[in-house]
């Protein structure tokens, strides 16, 4: 079984009893697939993106258990340690993959200083899902389009789903 498939099952187990969070990361994963295909992303970079999209919100449950609530910043702080432990338990032997996935999780609510296509795609895919789940206004969506969307496919998906007249 591929690492991403082992992580997918571990994340579903991790989010047991919370179908909304499992559905969220599955939607983010699928949008990331569409964008990554359009960007011709392959190899290790693709594997990192696949795993990061499945794990990006791993910090929510620990924050809620520890603090009784969770913010994006708290997720970024708490998530990497849990991701590292899960990746190691899943048999991931690539330190490079573990470090990059943890870095992506630690920055997935930070919308500046984009470093790498994997980061860009994770942010765009997560926003596509969050805009729908949070019923974002057209103005907010337009602002985020200008601020963070750079891939042609990400813009196409955002425009078609949310900004079509």
Residue 113 has pLDDT above 80, yes or no: no
Mean pLDDT of 94-106: 97
| Alpha helix stretches (DSSP H) within the chain | 3-14, 19-38, 43-55, 60-67, 72-89, 95-105, 117-133, 138-148, 152-158
C-alpha of 96 from chain center: 18
- Domains contained in the chain, CATH given: 3-163 (1.10.3210.10)
Q: How much is the mean pLDDT over the chain?
A: 95
Q: Which residues contact 71 (CB under 8 A, 6 or more apart)?
A: 63
Residue 60 has pLDDT above 80, yes or no: yes
Residue 110, pLDDT score: 84
Residue 165 has pLDDT above 90, yes or no: no
Residue 21 has pLDDT above 90, yes or no: yes
Residue 105, pLDDT score: 97
pLDDT, one tens digit per residue, over 61-85 is 999 999 999 988 989 899 999 999 9
Mean pLDDT of 16-21: 96
Residue 111, pLDDT score: 81
Residue 139, pLDDT score: 97
Hey, what are 115's tokens? Answer: 């470093």
């Amino acid at each position: 079984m591929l690492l991403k498939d082992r992580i997918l099952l571990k994340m579903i187990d991790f989010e047991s009893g919370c179908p909304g969070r499992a559905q969220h990361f599955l939607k983010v994963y699928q949008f990331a697939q569409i964008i990554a295909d359009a960007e011709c992303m392959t190899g290790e970079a693709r594997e990192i993106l696949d795993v990061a999209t499945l794990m990006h919100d791993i910090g929510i449950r620990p924050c809620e258990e520890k603090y009784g609530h969770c913010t994006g910043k708290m997720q970024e702080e708490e998530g990497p340690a849990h991701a590292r432990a899960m990746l190691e338990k899943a048999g991931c032997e690539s330190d490079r993959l573990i470090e990059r996935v943890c870095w992506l999780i630690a920055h997935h609510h930070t919308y500046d200083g984009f470093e790498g296509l994997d980061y860009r795609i994770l942010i765009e895919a997560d926003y596509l899902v969050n805009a729908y789940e949070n019923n974002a206004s057209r103005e907010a969506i337009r602002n985020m389009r200008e601020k963070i969307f750079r891939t042609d496919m990400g813009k196409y998906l955002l425009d078609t789903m949310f900004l079509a007249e």
